[in-house]
Amino acid sequence: MKIIPVILSGGVGSRLWPLSREHFPKQCLPLTDKEYSLLQQTMLRTLSLEVADPIVVCNEDHRFLIAQQLQSIGVEKSSIVLEPKGRNTAPAIALAALETLRSQSDDALMLVLPADHVIRDIDAFEATIKQAVELAKQDALVTFGVQPTRPETGYGYIRSGENFSVVEFVEKPNAETAQAYLDSGEYLWNSGMFLFSAQAYLDELALYRADIFQAVSQAYAQRLDDLDFVRIDAELFGQCPEESIDFAVMESTKKAKVVPYTGDWSDIGAWDALYDYADKDADNNVLLGDVMSEDSSNCLVRSESRLVAVVGVNDLVVVETADAVLVMDKNNAQDVKKIVKRIKAEHREEHMYHTTVHRPWGSYQTVDLGIRHQVKRIMVKPGEKLSVQMHHHRAEHWVVVSGTAKVQNGEQEILLTENESTYIPVGVVHALENPGKIPLELVEVQSGSYLGEDDIVRFSDRYGR
């Protein structure tokens, strides 16, 4: 029986700002590993199970980023289903179930995994999956409950019974109740991981939440295949109620089973969770990047672009990026969302982009920004091409630093190499391509009355933007 990894990657992780941004969310960041992102780690831990091609359900804005991260770890074939709008886990899993039935046999099992979990005990993970497979073969909807190690108030719980039965789901408790749950030995953390057949899930969803089932089915029926992506009808999907799988199905179904997982596990939801999970030095600090610490303890300090020094402080989180610095008491980790909310309210962009912005063709980094000018460093990957476009309000001057640029500048098509440049006046149609075998790097100087990214008129684009 085939197992299909279904990776849920719809969130943006605002509690991990300033590292996590709307256009580069936490699941795409190497938060707990120097090489692999949380998404890549989630995918890699399934490969030993002899799984079929995965399905990823993600935000449309993240589609190229997700595809690139999968390809970089050797996952060449995958279905990337694009949610036009986040509707929580019940509709997202329904989309994956419908995609499973289209591409796989009816008895294929969906292993549903959030993209932002960390699991290091792969042997325990595999053993738990094998137990769950036997139950799922009997038409059960299996959830995985993590054996609690502390009286955690940030997780929901599952009360388990005999023969993997589910007695009840309970919401996040207060500290006293959490301690009672831990002492009883009957409660497991609700991990948000599941295993079941696509048809079994859809049948139960149709039984208990026919409105969600019908809305998702109608939206999926009007899908379009776009490059490597599956686009869902936005208007129809927008009419779908927003609900979690727990409330929509698992708390009502008679087919629920829970398999205990006893290995290590964490959902890296906020900076305090990352601190708890990470290895610590002799002063109980987690120091990442170019960091110096003197007479400080119980801190998480992360530097992305420069030296960060802390002296004589305790219980702090300090996170530095090129355009923002967060300093907070570690016990207030949940309140980062308040800062993100204020950034949005003040119409700033630090919640959306880093200074380095990734695109399907490469990336660009803002070096300098003034009222009427902007300087960017642009990298175009070999064989890639930006859209054919023009701007109403800005002119651009390109200077090649390394590599070869194939440039369309109005009616001209020219090749530029190192130290050569071209000027593109306002309103002139232009395009940039890297025809070479090495990355193309150039400096772009923009000047004009308006420099926003929305001043782009695209005439053709190989990425369908």
CATH 3.90.550.10 segments of the chain = 3-267
Counting Cβ atoms within 10 Å, is residue 434 exposed (0-12), middle (13-18) or buried (19+)? Answer: buried
How do residues 169-217 score in pLDDT, each as one tens digit?
A: 999 999 999 999 999 999 999 999 999 999 999 999 999 999 999 999 9
How many whole angstroms separate alpha carbon 218 and alpha carbon 93?
Answer: 15
How many whole angstroms separate alpha carbon 321 and alpha carbon 324?
Answer: 5
Rounded (10°) CA dihedral 17, 23, 28, 29: -40
How do residues 4-30 score in pLDDT, each as one tens digit?
A: 999 999 888 899 999 999 999 999 999
Q: What is the CA radius of gyration of the chain?
A: 24
pLDDT at residue 142 greater than cutoff 90: yes
Region 121-131: what's the mean pLDDT?
A: 93
Asked if 194 and 143 count as a contact pair (C-beta separation under 8 A), the reply is: yes
pLDDT at residue 372 greater than cutoff 70: yes
What share of residues in the chain are helix, strand, coil (percent, to 5)?
Answer: 30, 35, 40
Region 443-458: what's the mean pLDDT?
A: 93
Give the range among 38-47, 349-358, 382-391 with minimum mean pLDDT.
349-358
pLDDT at residue 50 greater than cutoff 90: no
* Non-local CB neighbours of 339 within 8 Å, separated by 6+ positions: 17, 326
The candidate with the shortest Cα–Cα distance to 442, out of 392, 395, 377, is 377
How many whole angstroms separate alpha carbon 377 and alpha carbon 367?
Answer: 7
Q: What is the pLDDT of residue 419?
A: 95
Q: Is 358 strand, coil or helix?
A: strand
Task: Report H helices in 245-371.
Answer: 245, 271-277, 336-345
The candidate with the shortest Cα–Cα distance to 142, out of 99, 104, 111, is 111
> Could you give the C-alpha distances from 234 to 215, 221, 251, in angstroms and in order?
11, 12, 29
Q: What is the pLDDT of residue 90?
A: 97
Confidence of residue 462 (pLDDT cuts 50, 70, 90): confident
Which residue type is seen at 204? E
Confidence of residue 103 (pLDDT cuts 50, 70, 90): confident
pLDDT at residue 99 greater than cutoff 70: yes
- pTM of the predicted model as reported, rounded to 2 decimal places: 0.86
How many whole angstroms separate alpha carbon 5 and alpha carbon 112?
Answer: 6
Q: What is the pLDDT of residue 289?
A: 94
Q: Is 37 strand, coil or helix?
A: coil
Question: Would you give the DSSP letter of residue 317?
Answer: E
What would the CATH number be for the domain defined by 3-267? 3.90.550.10
Asked if 120 and 46 count as a contact pair (C-beta separation under 8 A), the reply is: no
Q: What is the pLDDT of residue 104?
A: 72
Question: Would you give the DSSP letter of residue 147?
Answer: P
CATH 2.60.120.10 segments of the chain = 356-460
What share of the chain in percent tops pLDDT 70? 100
Query: Angle of helix 89-103 relative to helix 210-221, nearest 10 degrees?
Result: 50
Q: What is the pLDDT of residue 415?
A: 97
The candidate with the shortest Cα–Cα distance to 306, out of 322, 330, 329, is 322
Rounded (10°) CA dihedral 10, 14, 18, 23: 30
Asked if 205 and 249 count as a contact pair (C-beta separation under 8 A), the reply is: yes
Which residue type is seen at 99? E
b/e string for 236-254 if b means 16 or more Cβ within 10 A? bbeebeebbbbebbbeebe
Q: Which two tokens stand for residue 189?
A: 């953390």
CATH architecture of 356-460: Sandwich (2.60)
Region 359-370: what's the mean pLDDT?
A: 92
Region 41-62: what's the mean pLDDT?
A: 90
Q: What's the residue count for the chain?
A: 465
Region 277-296: what's the mean pLDDT?
A: 96
How many whole angstroms separate alpha carbon 460 and alpha carbon 465?
Answer: 9
Q: Which two tokens stand for residue 284?
A: 């109980």
Among all chains, which residue has been given the structure tokens 């993997």? 164
How many whole angstroms separate alpha carbon 243 and alpha carbon 215?
Answer: 13
CA angle 136, 142, 147 (to 5 degrees): 135
Confidence of residue 106 (pLDDT cuts 50, 70, 90): low
Q: What is the pLDDT of residue 105?
A: 64
Q: Which two tokens stand for residue 60?
A: 């449309």
Q: What is the pLDDT of residue 300?
A: 98
Give the range among 97-106, 111-120, 434-443 with minimum mean pLDDT.
97-106
Confidence of residue 461 (pLDDT cuts 50, 70, 90): confident
Q: Which two tokens stand for residue 337?
A: 């969302």
Mean confidence (pLDDT) of the chain: 94
